[in-house]
Amino acid sequence: MSTDAATAAATAAPGAEIVRMEGITKTFPGVLALDNAQFSLLPGEVHALVGENGAGKSTLIKILTGVYAKDSGRVAFDGREIDISTPLEAKALGINAVYQDINMAQHLSVAENFFLGRPLRTAFGTVDWRRMREVADRVLAEYDIHIDSRALVKDLTVAQQEMVTIAKTVHEQAKAIIFDEPTALLANEECDELFAMIRKLKAQGIGIIYISHRLEEIFEICDRVTVMKDGRWMRTMPTAETNQDEIISLMVGRAVEDMYDRKFFPPGEVVLEVGNITTRGKFTDVSFDLRRGEVLGFFGLVGSGRTEVMRAVFGAEPPDSGEIFAYGEKVDLRSPKDAIRKRIGLLPEDRKRQGLNLQLSLVLNTNLVAYDKVSAAGVINLRKERAVAEEFREKVGTRTPSVDQLVRNLSGGNQQKAVVSKWLAAESDIFIFDEPTVGVDVGAKQEIYKILEALLREGHAIVLISSYLPEVMGLSDRLLTMRNGRISGQFARGAYDEEEILRAAAIE
């Protein structure tokens, strides 16, 4: 959308809109979730909805999709005032959502998922499998999605599942599609494919509500942006007339340059040495050292081998060759249990599946790898168990009404804090953070950065893996780049050059 078109969109007459929400208020026991909030969506535009966790974004969207009933206000769809009571009513109107956690029947085929609950029938009343596959194949081809409709969903990548979900949504005659953190689990090239698909949807006049913590995406794909804070509407602007600094200031009252304002400490002795470790097909001859009180950054494209190296250091996938020394002593880390004994903790990128047990409480997750410290003769001391959870909840600032809260009910930022608490309870000394701020809002990001700073102040050592170059440059004392499974560059703080770092990571 051009600047003129975007400006027109920002001031469009109500009748031109697909969605218009005005004066929306919603309360829960003891919480004012929405306070006179507003939002609008035009045909053929991508409208970003941003704000910290707790800003009211999810509540507003759940009112639009019929999950929650509003206390007061007005919702209009296609110029007609409506009350949406259930998600099925929203879907029937043409309001659909694509969530970060993809909800598809994994054991069924792509075509079966396309027609889940409403299969096509032959004249004899039997399921028309051939026609279902033909329709699914046609829709997928229309959006350049090269997937066989007979493929089982469980065999597809996350990106492919997301593309299939979008194609299915369009086939169901969606007029407005909500994208909630759609790129959180995608590689860079997969993000490009998603954005190409979104542009096709725009060209067809479909309105897109785009929710993301990655502000750089807002400026790449969105026409307008609405900022929310504490349940209130702050401002709606054409993206061409704003910038990240202004958006962050509206969201949290801080400027973007303050995001990476951490204190640096003189590095101490070497606590970890990795010498020429190799795992065939993943990485080759990787060497580095880590000092107490420093952040060693790893930057590289998806597939460069960064995560695989750290899983090897953690004993999750031991290398084929090479040496690892912890505190000057050669160690044989054949399992995570071995690494934990050496006070090494890994905070994985996929914290929901690999870092936490979402079905358990904060108490249990905090003590997950430290029950030997709150037990005697195989009997858990419940008072100690709870005291440990309370201690580290307070230390890292996890926001929850109780340590008995299930971790699945915490925000992304608070879930990450729960992972930190787990490793603190285990008395870890070396922390490996793999993409620590994926799916985390701006305010929670800065809180996580302050936790890193506090760990360094206490003399711990940190390895930081991040795909976001400003983050890894802003936080690291030293920075290594990886490309095709090898260390491709080394940079000292004070000599960082964004272009040189990108060249080292991406260019043969």
In the predicted model, what is the mean pLDDT of the chain?
Answer: 89
Q: Which of 111-120, 283-292, 410-419 ranks highest by mean pLDDT?
A: 283-292
Instruction: Quickly list DSSP for 95-137.
Output: EEEE-SS----TTSBHHHHHTTTS--B-TTSSB-HHHHHHHHH
Whether 104 shows a pLDDT value over 90: the answer reads no
* Measured torsion, CA atoms of residues 448, 453, 454, 459, in degrees rounded to the nearest 10: 140
Name, in order, each residue with C-beta under 8 angstroms of 381's C-beta and a sequence gap of 6 or more: 374, 375
**CA nearest 440: which of 53, 37, 15, 23?**
53
User: CA 262, CA 203: separation in Å to the nearest integer?
Assistant: 44
Sheet architecture: strand order including 31-41? 31-41, 19-28, 72-77, 80-82
Query: Does pLDDT of 72 surpass 60?
Result: yes
Structure tokens at 466: 């991040």
Neighbours of 171 (CB within 10 A): 16
Tell me, what's the pLDDT at 116?
Answer: 86
The 10s digit of each residue's pLDDT in 27-55 is 987 678 899 999 999 999 999 999 876 68
* pLDDT average, residue stretch 262-281: 95
Asked if residue 65 lies in contact with residue 83, where contact means CB atoms within 8 angstroms, the answer is no
Query: What pTM was estimated for this model as a whole?
Result: 0.63
- Closest to 435 (Cα-Cα) out of 394, 469, 461, 458: 469
pLDDT (0 to 100) of residue 32: 86
Segment 481-500, tens digit of pLDDT: 998 899 999 999 988 988 88
- Flag whether pLDDT at 101 surpasses 80: no
Determine the pLDDT at residue 453: 95
Instruction: Specify whether the CB–CB gap between 448 and 417 falls below 8 A.
Output: yes
Taking only the tens place, the pLDDT of each residue in 298-335 is 998 767 899 999 999 999 999 999 999 999 999 999 99
> What is the reported pLDDT for 508?
55
Residue in 175, 212, 199, 232 with CA at minimum distance from that of residue 42: 175
Which structural domains are found in the chain, ordered by start?
A: 1-94+176-182+207-256 (3.40.50.300), 259-343+429-508 (3.40.50.300), 356-427 (no CATH)
Residue 444 confidence (pLDDT) above 50:
yes
Per-residue model confidence (pLDDT) at position 5: 36
Closest CA to 104 of 157, 61, 31: 157
Task: Identify the DSSP state of 256.
Answer: G
**With bands split at pLDDT 50, 70 and 90, how would you rate the model's confidence at 258?**
low
Report pLDDT for 458. Answer: 94
Q: Identify the three-state secondary structure at position 343.
A: coil
Q: How confident is the model at residue 100 (pLDDT cuts 50, 70, 90)?
A: low
Task: Provide the pLDDT for residue 4.
Answer: 37
- Look at residue 257 and tell me whether its pLDDT is greater than 60: no
Weakest-pLDDT range from 186-190, 270-274, 300-304: 186-190
The percent of residues above 70 in pLDDT, for the chain, comes to 93
The predicted pLDDT at position 190 comes to 79
Highest mean pLDDT among 151-160, 232-241, 296-305, 496-505: 232-241
Q: How far is the C-alpha of 26 from the C-alpha of 63, rounded, in Å?
A: 9
